[in-house]
Chain A
Amino acid sequence: MATCKECTYFFPVPENADDFESGKGDCVTEKEDAKGKYWLSKPTTNTSSPCPSYKLCSNKI
């Protein structure tokens, strides 16, 4: 079963970060609307079920 861990948009929180926890990551996605591009960052974990933006990252298999 896919999890956020394999997603292109999952970025593990670095170990030296104030909010580091094992498995915690930032889900960063690119959006675009009529006014332009923007990026969103949501906290997530590597065991979370993927959201509709899920995209498998070959590097993470």
Chain B
Amino acid sequence: MTTVAGSIKYRGNVIEFPLENPQENDVADEMLHENLARPTTERTKRLKARCRWKHASAGEFIDSEVRAGIERMRFITEAHKASEGQPEVIRRALGLANILNKSTLVLQQDEFIIGYHAEDPEMFPLYPELSYMAVQDYLMSDYSPQPKEEADAINQYWKRFSMQSKGERYFSKEDLTRMYQVSTMEAPGFATGYNSITPPYETILEDGLLKRIEMAKTKIEHAQKEMENIPWNATEGLEWISKIDVWKAMVIADEAVINWARRHARLAKIVAEHFESDPARREELLEISDISHRVPAEPCKGLKDAFQAKWYTYLLCHAIDRYASGYAHKEDELLEPYYNISVKEKSFQPMTHKDAVEMVEMERLKISEHGAGKSRAYREIFPGSNDLFILTVGGTKPGYVDACSDMTDAILEGARNIRTTEPSIVFRWHPTGRIQTKRLVFECIRDGLGYPSIKHDVIGTEQMKYYSQFSKNKNGATADEAHYWALVLCMSPGVCGRRKTQKTRSEGGGSIFPAKMMEITLADGFDWSYSAMQLGPHTGDPTQFKTFDQVWEAFRTQYKYAVSTVIRAKDVCRYFEGKFLQMPFVSSIDDGAMELGIDAVELSEQPNGWHNPITTIVAANSLVAIKKLIYDEQKYTMQQLVTALRANWEGYEAMRLDFLNAPKWGNDDEYADNIIKDFYEDIIGGEMSKITNYSGGPVKPVGQAVGLYMEVGSRTGPTPDGRFGGDAGDDGGISPYMGTDKKGPTAVLRSVAKVQKNQKANLLNQRLSVPIMRSVHGFDIWKSYMDAWEQLNIDHVQFNVVSTAEMRAAQKEPEKHQDLIVRVSGFSARFVDIPTFGQNTIIARNEQTFGAEDLEYLNTQL
């Protein structure tokens, strides 16, 4: 039997909460998620049943078949050796070309969108040119590429050329050891290979690569003529050299991409003519062949073309040319013109809306099979998923006109129907957004998918305008372009489009960990609990601090050191990316790179600097407890606190409870919120904003968590908020610590709304009551909550809608709960693929119900 919410009295009426779908009355709480999937077609049902998931957790792959391939490593190395002496950007293009010309292609039964990034559908590629440690980790694991000896030789070859070796030279051994710990600071991108990008999909869909090749060739011709000007002028003439190399590299890369797509076309035709016995599938394979012959060489003409061209581009930008996490694009607006051609006008690749939903589902299943050759840290921090994949929909066009369309709805329907952990979706919320689309957003959330997460459209749009002013070449996003943004990864807006998009994580991304900083602030910068080493600057013996200000300033010193170190690491990486990790294919489809003859990773037109503080609330709640109990009430001394912490509170339980019960964030408590607001605005955002990055702009905090709140928690000793050593951190950038938000969901909103200055984004995790959300009043309550959220100018919110009963049942019998999806933080995951420790943190999150007081605050009409 399903639990139904109890009635409440509201505005003089008794409000009952019968389920919106009465048939669910017969579905046990423990099995709800297993009864929600409804794939749109038999084909997507089959594809889901045989999906080659590649979830990672605690550093391991769940499926024992998943392993690293060797082809990419082999072919990029072969090309690197053969191209010695050539300009570096040309070597990069030749490397890509060698991979695309020689790699094994994969075509699976039943699929329509084709293409894979490794030589076997259970494999993923590795990147020896990035991090030698990351590859070494694979060689020592169960997932090693084979033959191992060849892979090891390749890794040894690349070590001296690798981004890691290049970056390491400019940091002290001490700083590197500290960053590599991943306890106060995330390790630098040059040591992990982790990356993100917003590819200019629009260009490839609109132009096709043959046009881009012609443009590059015209540029080369012009440049060569300019160099031949008489009289010779070196100050101008020499400028053309690097540009000619960049344009030549574009031609090499694009020709190879066209050939690679057409190899797929041949494969589909061969399978149709020599292997396939079903006449319908044979016809379909010939259609697939036609599509891959035309795109991405030519502009897309219909929706099938667009999905395929986008998929090839995705594979190249996120896996074949270089690794990148994410799936950054404004998918509804990107595909809307092709939806209109195929679904509305039916003038090319005619189809119904239902067919479009099927395409969405098939794409989601392709993503669900996408294996990521990430370093170990990133196999730990997104447990229960393959990687981070977030696409963006909704929002507004210039003039704050609603951007939602039937394509938006198709994307949401497909997500709701097929139920996969990824890609995640973010919905840009604006009051003008149409109700039918918001209803679909609600249905996805109500079904427990954990997405869409919601971003405030105006905050994101105005932010793009803000960053634009710092553009190095005075060509930042215009007011109109500022509306066309998507999340680069899980939380941070970045412009999309034909140019100015973010091309590397060095621009924005990476994390730092205030909880651990708090711990070492109380130990003169020494990490006594995890590494037994000096982890940060000496900030003094805390037992000698006479005032709370001294604690505050000591933390500030730890934070300043960490934040400058990590952003310096990013910019050092960016420096070397521009010289040795160019992206000629991406450059060819970026209008700025094409116009200026500058590689896309070197070029910066629209700054977008950010970094992610994770576990901020543990630090914040700790400061509140210290101020109250030590400096205001003087109930304890700092010496007593330090002693209790070193004992992990053992023998000090009464004291721990006092610290645990000190005012906590998320309860609209004036005492706590005043301190924490200052903490966010003055230290977390204030200090970070003083930094200038590669692009000449400031860096702002994006409060986040992903699964790092579990990892960093496990490396963080006991803290003054009452945590034991090893307990998880807070699970969202600005989320109350699990279980401590006790005054209802609107109190949480009122706390969060207080933090406004010096922030780029802050992740808010909330868990909502299943019976209320699935009741006849669910949408109205949720909508009124969202309207209040928007009015309060809060940046973000994401939801879990899942019962404790179902999660506990899944812990007991995981094989029966494969469709149970939860929102971790910034991404969704299959619950049974998360380690037990992580599962327990999600169960511990408060399930918010809506009382009469909350509904009154929200002015909910029932």
Interface residues, chain A, CB within 8 Å of chain B? 11, 13-14, 17-19, 26, 28, 30, 33, 35-43
B50 near A39: Cβ-Cβ < 8 Å: no
B255 within 8 A of A: yes
B266/A37 in contact, CB under 8 A: no
Q: Is the CB of A41 within 8 A of B105?
A: yes
Shortest Cβ gap from A53 to chain B (Å): 12
Chain B 87-124 interface 0/1 with A at a Cβ cutoff of 8 Å (1 = within): 00000000000000110111111100000000111100
In the assembled complex, which residues on chain A have CB atoms less than 8 Å from the CB atom of B50? 35-36
- CB neighbours (8 Å) of A43 from chain B are 101-102, 263
Chain B interface, DSSP helix/strand/loop, else mixed: mixed
Q: Is the CB of A13 within 8 A of B267?
A: no
Find chain A residues with CB under 8 A from B274 CB.
11, 28
Q: Which residues of B contact A26 (CB under 8 A)?
A: 263, 266-267, 270
Q: Tell me, in angstroms, the Cα distance from A11 to B106 when the chains sit together.
A: 16
Taking CB atoms and an 8 Å cut-off, the chain B residues in 797-827 that contact chain A are none
A38 with B107, Cβ < 8 A, contacts A11-B270, A26-B266, A28-B270 known: yes
Query: With a CB–CB cut-off of 8 A, which chain A residues contact B102?
Result: 43
B259 in the interface, Cβ–Cβ < 8 Å?
yes
Please tell me if the beta carbons of B262 and A41 are within 8 angstroms of each other in the complex.
Answer: no
Question: Contact at A41–B107, with CB atoms within 8 Å?
Answer: yes
Residues of A within 8 A of B105 (CB): 40-42
8 other A-B residue contacts (CB within 8 Å) besides A18-B255, A35-B52, A39-B275? A14-B266, A28-B275, A30-B275, A39-B267, A40-B104, A40-B120, A41-B104, A43-B102
Does B56 sit at the interface, judged by CB under 8 A?
no
Q: Are A37 and B109 in contact (CB under 8 A)?
A: yes
Of A11, A14, A38, which is within 8 A of B108 by CB?
A: A38
* A17–B51 alpha-carbon span in the complex (Å): 33
In the complex, what residues of A have CB within 8 A of residue B267's CB? 26, 28, 39, 41
Q: Determine whether the beta carbon of B259 is less than 8 Å from that of A19.
A: yes
Residue of B102, B119, B275 with most partner-chain A CB within 10 A: B275
Is A19's CB under 8 angstroms from B263's CB?
yes
Q: List 18 A-B contacts (CB under 8 A).
A: A11-B266, A11-B274, A13-B266, A18-B255, A18-B258, A26-B270, A28-B271, A28-B275, A35-B52, A35-B121, A37-B109, A38-B107, A38-B121, A39-B108, A39-B270, A40-B105, A42-B105, A43-B102
Chain B residues proximal to chain A, CB less than 8 Å: 50-52, 65, 101-102, 104-110, 119-122, 255, 258-259, 262-263, 266-267, 270-271, 274-275
Q: In the assembly, what is the distance between CA of A36 and CA of B109, in Å? A: 7
A37, B106: Cα distance in complex, Å: 11
Docked complex Cα distance between A43 and B102 (Å): 6
Measured CA separation A39–B121 after assembly (Å): 10
A58 CB to closest chain B CB, in angstroms? 14
SS class, residues of chain A in contact with chain B? strand
Chain A residues within 8 Å of B266, by CB? 11, 13-14, 17, 26, 41
A28 to B258, CA, bound (A): 20
**CA A40 – CA B109 in complex, angstroms?**
11
With the chains together, A43 CA to B101 CA distance in Å?
8
Question: How far is B801's CA from A57's CA once the two chains are assembled, in angstroms?
Answer: 58
Give chain B residues whose Cβ lies under 8 Å from the Cβ of A39: 106-108, 267, 270-271, 275
Asked if B262 and A36 sit within 8 Å, CB to CB, the answer is no
Which residues of chain A are within 8 angstroms of B108 by Cβ–Cβ distance?
Answer: 36-39
In the A-B complex, the 9 residue pairs with the smallest Cβ-Cβ separation, listed nearest first, are: A37-B109, A41-B105, A41-B267, A38-B108, A35-B50, A18-B259, A39-B107, A42-B104, A36-B50
Q: Which of A17, A19, A36, A41 is within 8 Å of B270, CB to CB?
A: A41
Minimal Cβ-Cβ distance residue in A for B110: A36
CB contacts (< 8 Å) of B258 on chain A: these are 18
Give the docked Cα–Cα distance between A41 and B102 (Å): 10
Chain B residues whose CB sits within 8 angstroms of the CB of A17 once the complex forms: 262, 266
Measured CB to CB, the closest approach of chain A to B454, in angstroms, equals: 35
State in angstroms the CA–CA spacing of A54 and B258 once bound together.
Answer: 29
**Which residues of B are found within 8 Å of A28, using beta-carbon distances?**
267, 270-271, 274-275
Residues in A with CB closer than 8 Å to B110 are 36
Min CB distance, B290 to chain A, in Å?
15
User: How many Å from the CB of A11 to the closest CB on chain B?
Assistant: 5
Complex contacts, A11 vs chain B, CB 8 Å: 266, 270, 274
Contacts of A35 in B (CB 8 A): 50-52, 121
B170 CB, min distance to chain A CBs, angstroms = 41
Which of chain A's residues have a CB closer than 8 A to the CB of B262?
17-19
B286 vs chain A, min Cβ distance (A)? 15
A43-B110 Cα distance, complex, nearest whole Å = 24
Considering the chains assembled together, what is the distance between the CA atoms of A14 and B273 in angstroms?
15
Name the residue on A nearest B260 (C-beta): A19
